[in-house]
Amino acid sequence: MKKVIILILAMLILAAVTPVVAASAVCVTVNAVPIAFADQVPISVDGRVLVPLRAVFEHEQIGAGVRYNADTRTATVEKGNVAVALQVGNRQMSVSNRASGATEFVTLDVPPTMYNQRVLLPIRAVVEAFGYSLNWNSGNQTVEINAPITDRYYHDDGTWEDVEYDTYGNQIKWGYYDAGGLIFMYEYEYDANGTHIKSTRYNAYGLESWTEYEHNANGYTSKKTNYNAGGLISDWIEYEYGANGNHIKSTNYNADGSISDWVEYEYDANGYRIKITDYNADGSIAWKQEYEYDIYGNQIKRSDYSATGIIYREGYEYDANGNWIKQTRYNIDGSVDYWIEYEYDANGYHIKSTRYNADGSVDLQWAE
């Protein structure tokens, strides 16, 4: 009888232990690109695949930001407006949307776990929290993540931007939307070397225009041709470069091939651009800009001229860390028109801008 009781107790104890199985045969792919696991392979817990925290979510095909707080044993995965927080041993996962301000709590089948001194997360729950789809291919033991490489950014006025990338990280689409749908959108095309060769613009009604790009042997843009929706050339620009690769001239042409205007660029010995001059078709100066720099390469002065003389000047100041902290606009006579001061937090992030009138009163103030 004692043997039977001992046997039953042993079975109960074994049943209470969560089986952890190294899923060494399991492969994980993102958009068909396999993920290499350097020092910790995925594991299986109660039929759920858990993966190393950083190997999957920092992969270039997903590109999420990952943080781990060892004190609270909490992992945070962030991308775009979504932040997912999980705690080792806790089945509750929070999903926060910074755009809407909403936070949702999801109960996990299995909690994150610490295994071989590595934090492992339940892959399906986290992947789906970002709107990606996941498929289990039992035939080849592969977790297949399909991640549309699209970021969405919301604005306070209810509009938003959608940005889409190809598997090489090239931006292939950018769209601007409101509640009524598309406002306008650009599509971008690249050649086999990843060089941008075409941009196409659409509005809510369809094709609006497109631009084609040509490049020289060094890969620099040598010509940009603009077409209207009917396929006719509207204008084009040709670019010239110096021996060191500095852009020294742009010439703008009308549809009939006549010159509209051209712009020349000058540089100092350090390669900093110090002058831009725009010329009319007859060779007269339309406008020009001049720039000055400090010994660190920070721009400290800009002067804008029309054909008849100075329009205004601006001065720029920086702190010891190189942060831009002040911009001052001067009138033609040298008196201050206004100035803007920029503030930063301890991490160097811009947090506040304040614009002052010439008399020192606050004109505008905004936070980043």
Decide if 9 is inside a domain: no
Q: How far apart are CA 12 and CA 17, in angstroms?
A: 9
Contact between residue 91 and residue 107 where contact means Cβ atoms under 8 Å apart = yes
The pLDDT of 108-125, averaged and rounded, is 89
Provide the β-strand partners of residue 153.
161
Q: Which residue has the tokens 């498929």?
A: 135
Burial class from Cβ neighbours inside 10 Å (0-12, 13-18, 19+) for residue 337 reads middle
Reported as a single tens digit per residue, the pLDDT across 118-156 is 888 888 889 888 878 889 888 888 999 887 677 888 998
| One domain, residues 313 and 168 | yes
| One domain, residues 98 and 175 | no
What was the pLDDT predicted at 15?
36
Contact between residue 89 and residue 72 where contact means Cβ atoms under 8 Å apart = no
User: Last residue of some domain: 146, 166, 199?
Assistant: 146
What was the pLDDT predicted at 14?
35
| One domain, residues 170 and 290 | yes
Contact between residue 20 and residue 2 where contact means Cβ atoms under 8 Å apart = no
Contact between residue 318 and residue 303 where contact means Cβ atoms under 8 Å apart = no
Decide if 56 is inside a domain: yes
Burial class from Cβ neighbours inside 10 Å (0-12, 13-18, 19+) for residue 152 reads middle
How many domains does the structure of the chain reveal?
2
| One domain, residues 72 and 131 | yes
| One domain, residues 94 and 226 | no
Dihedral (CA of 168, 172, 175, 181) sign: negative
pTM of the model: 0.59
Decide if 6 is inside a domain: no
Decide if 13 is inside a domain: no
What was the pLDDT predicted at 11?
40
Decide if 5 is inside a domain: no
Decide if 10 is inside a domain: no
| One domain, residues 130 and 203 | no
Reported as a single tens digit per residue, the pLDDT across 313-352 is 999 999 999 999 999 999 999 999 999 999 999 888 999 9
Contact between residue 29 and residue 134 where contact means Cβ atoms under 8 Å apart = no
Contacts by 224-230 with C-beta closer than 8 Å and gap 24+? Answer: none
CATH number, residue 82: 3.30.457.10
| One domain, residues 118 and 174 | no
Confidence of residue 76 (pLDDT cuts 50, 70, 90): very high
CATH number, residue 240: 2.40.160
Taking all residues of the chain, what is their mean pLDDT, rounded to a whole number? 88
Contact between residue 38 and residue 31 where contact means Cβ atoms under 8 Å apart = no
| One domain, residues 66 and 164 | no
The yes-or-no verdict on residue 117 having pLDDT over 90 is no
Q: Give the residue from 34, 51, 55 showing the smallest Cα distance to 43.
A: 51
The pLDDT of 220-242, averaged and rounded, is 97
What was the pLDDT predicted at 141?
85
User: Last residue of some domain: 146, 163, 192?
Assistant: 146
The pLDDT of 191-200, averaged and rounded, is 94
Q: By residue range, what is the domain housing residue 74? A: 19-146
Provide the β-strand partners of residue 327.
316, 340
- Which is more confidently placed, 128 or 59? 128
| One domain, residues 38 and 160 | no
What was the pLDDT predicted at 339?
98
In three-state secondary structure terms, 206 is strand
Contact between residue 165 and residue 171 where contact means Cβ atoms under 8 Å apart = yes
| One domain, residues 88 and 158 | no
Residue 124 phi, psi (nearest 5): -65, -45
| One domain, residues 127 and 177 | no
Q: How far apart are CA 147 and CA 317, in angstroms?
A: 43
Confidence of residue 181 (pLDDT cuts 50, 70, 90): confident
Q: Give the residue from 332, 305, 330, 304 showing the smallest Cα distance to 315.
A: 330
Q: How far apart are CA 312 and CA 188, in angstroms?
A: 37
| One domain, residues 284 and 186 | yes
Decide if 3 is inside a domain: no
As a whole-number percent, the residues of the chain with pLDDT over 90 amount to 60
Decide if 110 is inside a domain: yes
User: Last residue of some domain: 113, 131, 146?
Assistant: 146
